[in-house]
Amino acid sequence: MSVTVDTTVGAPPFSLWPPARVRLLTPRLELRLPDEDELGMLAGTAAEGVHEVGQQPFGRPWGAQPAGLRARSVAQWHWFTRGTFCAARWTFDFAVFSDGRPVGAQGLSAVGFPVRREVASGSWLGLRYQRRGFGKEMRAAVLTFAFDHLGALSAVTGAYADNFGAIGVSRALGYKDDGCEVADRDGSRVLAHRFRMSAEARRENWPKVDVVGVDDELLHLCGTKDHEGYQALALGDYPHAR
């Protein structure tokens, strides 16, 4: 496999990272991995609030943390997903930009993608950017990326029974009900709905999505073309990790 990287002395680390080249464009939004300055802005959006007081749309109550910890959680999660990205388990956590401002994040993840070819999604929006239809656009963007560019064959998602916004987005995009399960939400017993979609799902009502920045290096890294996933060294083989 041919790998092209910026070998200039002092080149920013972000230029070495194939996922950083990906751009997902909808009529109103741009999804991309944030650089460090943009990650700080995204964390600031989370600090302003991601849900109403008393709600709990997430499995862990990070949205109810004090503002500073909520912001730190966002930054730490983005660093974690980049540092552990490999074909066996990966996550794209795209910042969602509207008019140049980060308004939330849309994740796309997979476990065992070379064989399973299945992706899962999760997202959040800053409280003041909700109820504008952004949720449908950003989910459609990552599904288009997964199905048309990464070679995914199915996508799954889920939501607690009281998360009406997420459930509405899933049904509007054409997911099929995939059963339900009892979940432990921070010590409380709740019902969670599962949803599933195949790559052949109808997309007539989806927003237009343009995808740029996908290349062979990215496809090898994700396991689309290489079951091992190309990286400099296998995770755990660096001396400082022993």
Q: What is the mean pLDDT of residues 123-140?
A: 90
Whole-number mean pLDDT of the chain?
Answer: 86
Half-sphere exposure (Cβ direction) of 67: Cα atoms closer than 13 Å: 8
How sure is the predictor about 49, in pLDDT bands with cuts at 50, 70 and 90? confident
Asked whether the predicted pLDDT for residue 1 surpasses 50, the reply is: no
d(CA 94, CA 57): 19
**pLDDT confidence of residue 133:** 87
Q: What is the mean pLDDT of residues 220-235?
A: 75
**pLDDT confidence of residue 242:** 45
Asked whether the predicted pLDDT for residue 235 surpasses 90, the reply is: no
- State pLDDT tens for residues 67-114: 888 889 899 999 999 989 999 999 999 999 999 999 999 999 999 999
The answer to whether residues 24 and 209 touch, using CB atoms and an 8 Å cutoff, is yes
Asked whether the predicted pLDDT for residue 151 surpasses 60, the reply is: yes
**pLDDT confidence of residue 81:** 93
Half-sphere exposure (Cβ direction) of 11: Cα atoms closer than 13 Å: 10
How sure is the predictor about 143, in pLDDT bands with cuts at 50, 70 and 90? very high
**pLDDT confidence of residue 61:** 66
Q: Which CATH class is domain 16-231?
A: alpha beta
Q: Of 27 and 127, which is predicted with more confidence? A: 27
Tokens of residue 53, six digits: 């007081």
How sure is the predictor about 241, in pLDDT bands with cuts at 50, 70 and 90? very low
Q: Which of 207, 217, 200 shows the shortest CA–CA distance to 172? A: 207
Question: What share of the chain in percent tops pLDDT 70?
Answer: 84
Task: Please give the backbone phi and psi of residue 186, each rounded to the nearest 5 degrees, phi first.
Answer: 50, 45
**pLDDT confidence of residue 213:** 96
Query: Got the DSSP string for 40-72?
Result: HHHHHHHHT-SS-TT---SSSGGGGS-HHHHHH
Its pTM stands at 0.87
- State pLDDT tens for residues 167-207: 999 999 999 999 999 988 878 898 999 999 999 999 999 99
